[in-house]
Amino acid sequence: MHAVEIFNCNQIFSLISPEKKKKKGKEELPADAIKPNQSHLSGRLIIANAVNSTLVLNTDIYIYLYKTIAGFQLASLSSSHHSLIQFNSFSSILSLSIQYQFSPLTLSLMAAHPAYAETMSFGGSNHGQGQVAVPFETHQGSLKVLLLHGNLDVWVKEAKNLPNMDMFHKKIGDVFGKLNVKVTSKIESHLSDKITSDPYVTVSICGAVIGRTFVISNSESPVWMQHFNVPVAHSAAEVHFVVKDNDFVGSQIMGAVGIPVEKLCSGDKIEGAFPILNSSRKPCKAGAVLSLSIQYTPVENMSLYYRGVGSGPDYIGVPGTYFPLRRGGKVTLYQDAHAHDGCLADLKLDGGVQFNHESCWQDVYDAINQARRLIYITGWSVYHTVRLVRDGSNTLMLGDLLKIKSQEGVRVLILAWDDPTSRSILGYKTDGIMSTNDEETRRFFKHSSVQVLLCPRSAGKGHSFVKKQEVGTIYTHHQKTVVVDADAGQFKRKIIAFVGGLDLCKGRYDTPAHPLFKTLETVHKDDYYNPSLLEPIAGGPREPWHDLHCRIDGPAAYDILTNFEERWLKASKPHGLQKLKSSNDDSLLKLERIPEIVGMTEASYLSEKDPEAWHAQVFRSIDSNSVKGFPVDPRDATSMNLVCGKNILIDMSIHTAYVKAIRAAQHFIYIENQYFLGSSFNWDSHRDLGANNLIPMEIALKIANKIRANERFAAYILIPMWPEGVTTSPQIQRILYWQHKTMQMMYETIYKALVESGLQNKYVPQDYLNFFCLGNREALDGVDSSNAKDSTAANTPQALAKKNRRFQIYIHSKGMIVDDEYVIIGSANINQRSLEGTRDTEIAMGAYQPRHTWASKLSNPYGQVYGYRMSLWAEHIGAIEECFNRPESLGCVRRVRSLSEQNWKQYAADEVTQLKGHLLKYPVDVDPTGKVNALPGCAQFPDVGGNILGSFIAIQENLTI
């Protein structure tokens, strides 16, 4: 065991802060330092020599970290408190929450002094969706706070005469000199390579980082010439350009340039060399300047804001993305894993065409079964025991099907997330916290020709130990795709792909009926799933599962293939002795060597004039730590529409696609998503949380602008009644708390627009924006699969849910429909971890039919996207009404809300009655002024408990946003 000497905050700053002052012999922190108090301790963990040493900066608590064979021990010592806690892994420390003098003590990765703070995006992400605290204002006097809603076109060109930060290295070296010799020698070795500053620039607004240059090593006059074109929806006084020095213990702020928002609102380009100011508003060094240009374009000056999606034959799709728009394909849209014939209402489209309710897993099964060359699968979880088809006599499991195909000579590759909490070593097996069954699946295919690659979510070489542990433990590979070859006619094969929210694993099989009890002895007999209950009970209820998925047939399917190939090549890169073996690259088929398989250009087989033609585009959230093929030189990032992060390049085009589609919307937005939180920079509190995705704010501003223009607009947002898990747990309560903050911000924005337009006495915020959830309640019908005996106590959530025969239908969907003409479906949730690009890896597609848009029809389009939306509403509401054809109309909004309120009352009532529809109002009360409160008499979820509005519980924030 190695004990590590720890200094308190004053001792640290006595060594590294030239600004430290002494008063009457007592050391004090610099005036601009963050001073922790006893109610909330927040300090930076500085890691040296892997995990053998840790410094925690704090004024009056000393923390010791020991590395032991069994794990880690943390001792917290003060004059009045002592505790010793055992951890199984270092990552446990990230979510530590103990009591210190009856107040929560939270250790988080935040800076104890802003001058030495790295821009960390609530999870250590060093990219654009992060948070940066500028410890000073760059202008004297008050500046106007104005809304920037549009795009910022920014060039960060060069800096001159930057300060040399060598002195910081020396002083930090003095601190580490107090450590053991082995640690000190390694740090000094690192420091000896440093000559001067390693500068980079972050561009931030409201504390949210919206752009970041790459790091240039050892330069006091760096030249970046880096371009950003970023969407903004922020109210601020200044846009900050913060110049930092990259360092192994956290970057230092050299200084900043502030551009007043009031000047930007003129629309003129602001360009020049600006002095870089320190906290005293003086140049950080004589002659230190930053050359930049910045220009603001408001949304009202953008043609897409008025013309909608797919506005003409020259429409290029979502600009600024890695994959371009692909024309001339076909898209099949699915709801739920399986749809029985006749289970949904008949729907007529333009030209009398019937909307077909396709069955997703049946089509996936058929596509795999008919593949002749390749089957490539990615998943958060891929479980070999799942049965895709459960009608008739077909009982073949997925694993057996894939083995059969591989024996036929088909190349079968599976790329699944490697859950770090599941392990199988020398016969000892742990299932893992997330129950992905990754180790089971690997073992099942071990001696077959099916190749399974369990892929951990990894940070890059240039990241700290803490960052690597955090990424590897908290974040996941979340993509769900199946890529196969299919018949193209004339003895040719083509590539088709499935993408969406459905993993090929347990608990996902469901139908639009979403039964709770009726199928427990039939199709769900071996597939009981309900993670919201602490332990499974005999007789259910199961947790129904609602999801969205799609199939792409055409050029865009080849982009899904490219994504798999880039990820496989990165994940299979050999390390150590593996380099001596044959390359894993050989696992991938070289399609250009197989004449039978047509290329992307030949795969476009539908003319744009064909009414059934689709244009589709692939989007991702992913970084260069997870794919091979991004440029090595960060200077090339812009040309490939990638964003710079710290030592990584990022594709965050899913976020770009959502923002663009919302801005283009003219009539309504319909969203189904597993999570809905973001735009924390505009909340009434916790603005520095880092949940900076723009989607909630963009929707609220779209509605507000329509109100001011006296035009109708509506947004329907479906989310789970509660996030998956135990409703009273800290993480679920924290997510619900952030969700409440998001709702409150949106409704307040809408109410403000009503007041400004003088319409607050005529309309209420819910005439424009409504949140819903799904639930089911099954009355006894004489055949009851829940009568099995169990010993569950009568007042537990399990027993109450069984007694009251009700449960939420879990919305796992990740999709959006805009104006019945454009659809996005994928794996990405509307939260920061799915949209930032440096956290969970995600994939999605956006598509439309060029012959079925408002621009081409000059009226409501009634193509496949319309049919899909109506089919979803028929599933959720249990009926189709005429007003549903105009979802933006006030009559439709109020009718749908009324139906959902009736369903909620029936769901929450003591009497057990059969629900006709599943759509429930989300159980909160929104008053006429937009205040979001608990429903009277219903502050907690029925049966399972837990505050509906959530609770602020001190846990690691990265887990919940």
* 128 and 147 housed in the same domain: yes
First to last CA, the chain: 36
**Residue 832 in contact with residue 130, Cβ under 8 Å?**
no
Name the β-bridge partners of 295: 153
Q: Is the dihedral of CA 786, 792, 798, 802 positive or negative?
A: positive
At residue 212, the 3 state secondary structure works out as strand
Question: Please, how many CA atoms are within 13 Å of residue 379, restricted to the half-sphere of its CB?
Answer: 22
Do 126 and 76 share a domain, yes or no? no
Do 816 and 751 reside in the same domain of the chain?
yes
Give the tokens for residue 555: 């050029």
Phi, psi of 476 (to 5 degrees): -135, 165
Looking at the structure, tell me whether residues 336 and 296 fall in a common domain.
Answer: no
Contact 302, 664 (CB under 8 A): no
- Per-residue model confidence (pLDDT) at position 814: 98
Question: CB-side exposure of 655: number of CA atoms within 13 Å?
Answer: 31
Q: Which of 116, 140, 170 is the last residue of a domain?
A: 116
Task: With respect to residue 512, please indicate whether it lies within any of the assigned structural domains.
Answer: yes
Task: Output the domain CATH number for residue 226.
Answer: 2.60.40.150
**CA gap 932, 101 in Å, rounded:** 33
Question: Is 459 within 8 Å of 467 (Cβ atoms)?
Answer: yes
- Which alpha helices (H) appear in 85-229, and where do they start and end? 166-176, 181-192
Answer whether residue 189 is part of any domain: no
Question: Residue ranges of the chain with pLDDT lower than 70?
Answer: 1-141, 166-194, 248-250, 310-313, 420-435, 438, 458-473, 536, 574-585, 781-793, 955-956, 958
Task: Please count the other Cβ atoms lying within 10 Å of the Cβ belonging to residue 8.
Answer: 18
For position 139, what pLDDT does the model report? 67
Closest CA to 553 of 742, 392, 326: 326
Q: Given phi > 0 = left and psi -120 to 50 = alpha, else beta, which region is 951?
A: beta
Say whether both 577 and 693 belong to one domain. Answer: no
Does residue 799 lie in a domain region?
no
| H or E, element range at 741 | helix 730-756
Q: Which of 96, 116, 136 is the last residue of a domain?
A: 116
Tokens (6 digits) for 45: 């963990």
438 and 556 share a domain? Answer: yes
DSSP 44-75: -EEEETTTTEEEE--SS-EEEEEE-SS-EEEE
Give the position of tokens 């009360």. 925
Question: What is the domain extent for residue 453?
Answer: 326-603
Are 911 and 810 members of one domain?
yes
8 Å CB contact between 74 and 91: no
Please state the φ and ψ torsions of residue 772, each to the nearest 5 degrees. Answer: -135, 165
Cα(563)–Cα(569) distance, rounded to whole angstroms?
A: 10
Distance CA 739, CA 752 (A): 20
**Is the residue at 187 inside a domain?**
no
CA distance 75 to 121: 28
Question: Among all chains, which residue has been given the structure tokens 């639009």?
Answer: 512
Residue 171 belongs to some domain of the structure: no
Burial of 632 (0-12, 13-18, 19+ CB in 10 A): exposed
Q: Which residue has the tokens 């001073």?
A: 35
Distances (CA, A) of 254 to 115, 199, 219, 289, 594: 8, 9, 13, 11, 56
Give backbone dihedrals phi and psi of 115, rounded to 5 degrees, phi first: -65, -20
d(CA 953, CA 961): 13
Six-digit token string for 947: 């505050």
Please tell me the total number of residues recorded for the chain in this structure: 961
Same domain flag for 773 and 858: yes
- Residue 257 contacts by C-beta under 8 Å, 6 or more apart in sequence? 138, 240, 241, 243, 274, 275, 276, 277, 290, 292
**CA distance linking residue 139 with residue 146, whole number of Å:** 16
> What is the spatial distance between Cα 728 and Cα 533, in angstroms, rounded to a whole number?
11
> For the domain that residue 387 is a member of, what is the CATH number?
3.30.870.10
C-beta atoms surrounding 300 within 10 Å: 11
Query: What's the per-residue H, E or C state across 606-652?
Result: CCCCCCCCEEEEEEEEEECCCCCCCCCCHHHCHHHCCEEECCEEEEE
Q: Greatest CA span in the chain, whole angstroms?
A: 91
> Which two structure tokens, joined as six digits, stand for 713?
């607009």
Residue 175 lies in a domain: no
Stretch (H or E) spanning 154 = strand 146-160
Helix ranges, 380-512 (H): 398-407, 438-444, 465-474
Cβ atoms of 222 and 158 closer than 8 Å: yes
717 pairs with which residues across the strands? 671, 771
Is residue 677 within 8 A of residue 742, CB to CB? The reply is: yes
Please indicate, yes or no, whether residues 873 and 900 belong to a single structural domain of this protein.
yes
Domain count, the chain: 4
Domain check: are 42 and 142 in the same one? no
| Phi, psi for residue 770 in degrees, rounded to 5 | -140, 140
- Same domain, yes or no, for 552 and 428? yes
* Closest alpha carbon to 944 in 725, 683, 735: 725
> Can you give the pLDDT at residue 855?
87
Based on the fold, state whether residues 211 and 74 are members of the same structural domain: no
Q: Is residue 183 in some structural domain? A: no
Q: How far apart are CA 1 and CA 234, in angstroms?
A: 50
Structure tokens given for 23: 């008063």
146-160 β-sheet, strand order? 223-236, 146-160, 289-298, 270-275
Q: Among 603, 638, 658, identify where a domain stops.
A: 603
Q: Extract the tokens encoding 314.
A: 């020259």
Contact assessment for residue 744 and residue 696, using Cβ atoms and an 8 Å cutoff: no
pLDDT digits (tens, 9 = 90+) for 735-785: 999 999 999 999 999 999 999 999 999 999 999 999 999 999 999 865 454
Phi, psi of 466 (to 5 degrees): -60, -45
Q: Give ∠ CA 715-204-196 in degrees, rounded to 5.
A: 150
Catalytically active residues are 478, 480, 485, 812, 814, 819
- Rounded Cα distance between 524 and 387, Å, is 10
Question: Is the backbone peptide bond immediately before 18 cis, with ω within 30 degrees of 0?
Answer: no
| Alpha-carbon 898 to chain mean position | 32
DSSP 3-state percent helix, strand, coil across the chain (nearest 5): 25, 25, 45
Spell 135-152 as b/e; 16+ CB within 10 A means b: bbbbeeeebeeebbbbbb
DSSP E strands in 785-884: the ranges are 806-808, 810-811, 814-818, 822-826, 842-848
Residue 951 belongs to some domain of the structure: yes
Q: Which of 847, 821, 816 is nearest to 618 (CA)?
A: 847
Q: What is the pLDDT of residue 8?
A: 36
Half-sphere CA count of 826, side-chain side, radius 13 A: 28
Q: How far apart are CA 245 and CA 218, in angstroms?
A: 10
pTM for the model stands at: 0.84
One-character DSSP codes across 269-317: PEEEEEE-B-TTSSBSSTT-EEEEEEEEEEGGG-THHHH-TT-STT---
